[in-house]
Amino acid sequence: MAYFEHEGCNLHYEEYGHGAPLLLVHGLGSSTLDWEMQIPALAAHYRVIVPDIRGHGRSDKPRERYSIAAFSADLSALIEHLRLGQVHYVGLSMGAMIGFQLAVDQPQALKSLTIVNSAPEVKLRSRDDYWQWLKRWSLMRLLSLETIGKALGSKLFPKPEQADLRRKMAERWAKNDKRAYLASFDAIVGWGVQERLSRVSCPTLVISADRDYTPVALKETYVKLLPDAQLVVIADSRHATPLDQPERFNHTLLDFLASADLHSQDH
């Protein structure tokens, strides 16, 4: 368990294994615990660095406006602090948005980019978009984090044999700082770098669950905008693919990382 400071904020991160540096970045309302099923498999081959984003987990939760660009700057500072050089970056949901931001701002910082169940923008365009957003925004302010965690758990892990995952989700969600959680949600809405995707120079893997919140078709659309990208669809999975299909996910990721390592040796 380690901390480093960036712009007056203490940020928590963990390190495992040895080898080329690999950054695992969690989603909204989560923490390093998102990756418990990945760390052992990945740390056998890589130096795995798992941060808690500002406002999450064991990192400080400053009372301020959050932004994807600021989250990305925090991670950039962590890369510098640990003198990692080029890193493999793996992000889930909001963590992947931060990865997109880093990849368009500092393409040279990444050896590879893996995007899990995410998108390069969250723009409200139609009347329905605004309505859905308002509904979510209001519910998040009205409901307790425990209630939200329970609802999310049953949505993400609906099978009878996933009771343990449901319980963990509800428990972990309840531990969030509500203000920081809402500030992070607000940071996502309206964010986007889709028009700059041609700047992403590293090999990119986009992993989509077949039952993610957004359709596979959305991922197919932006994969075409990336210079060197492939899409893998994981069956019988929802938004938390690393937790509900860990073996398939780890296998897919390790295959991709091995080919990205070869690619960087050729260059």
Instruction: Collect the ranges in the chain with pLDDT lower than 50.
Output: none
Query: Could you tell me if residue 133 is inside a domain?
Result: no
Query: Could you tell me if residue 159 is inside a domain?
Result: no
| pLDDT of the residue at 244 | 97
Residue 84, SS3 per DSSP:
coil
Query: Could you tell me if residue 154 is inside a domain?
Result: no
| pLDDT of the residue at 264 | 75
For residue 160, count other CB atoms closer than 10 A to its CB.
5
Query: Could you tell me if residue 39 is inside a domain?
Result: yes
pTM over the 0.85 mark: yes
Query: Could you tell me if residue 132 is inside a domain?
Result: no
Domain count within the chain: 1
CATH number of the domain bearing residue 22: 3.40.50.1820
Residue (of 211, 266, 201, 206) closest to 236 by Cα position: 211
| pLDDT of the residue at 265 | 75
Half-sphere exposure of 129 (CA within 13 A, CB side): 8
* Helices and strands counted in the chain (H then E): 10, 8
Residue (of 112, 9, 89) closest to 55 by Cα position: 9
Query: Could you tell me if residue 86 is inside a domain?
Result: yes
Torsion of Cα atoms, 39 then 40 then 41 then 45, to 10°: 90
First to last CA, the chain: 35
Give every CB contact of residue 134 below 8 A, 6+ residues apart in sequence.
none
Query: Could you tell me if residue 27 is inside a domain?
Result: yes
DSSP per-residue string spanning 24-38: EE--TT--GGGGTTT
Q: Which domain holds residue 213?
A: 2-124+191-266
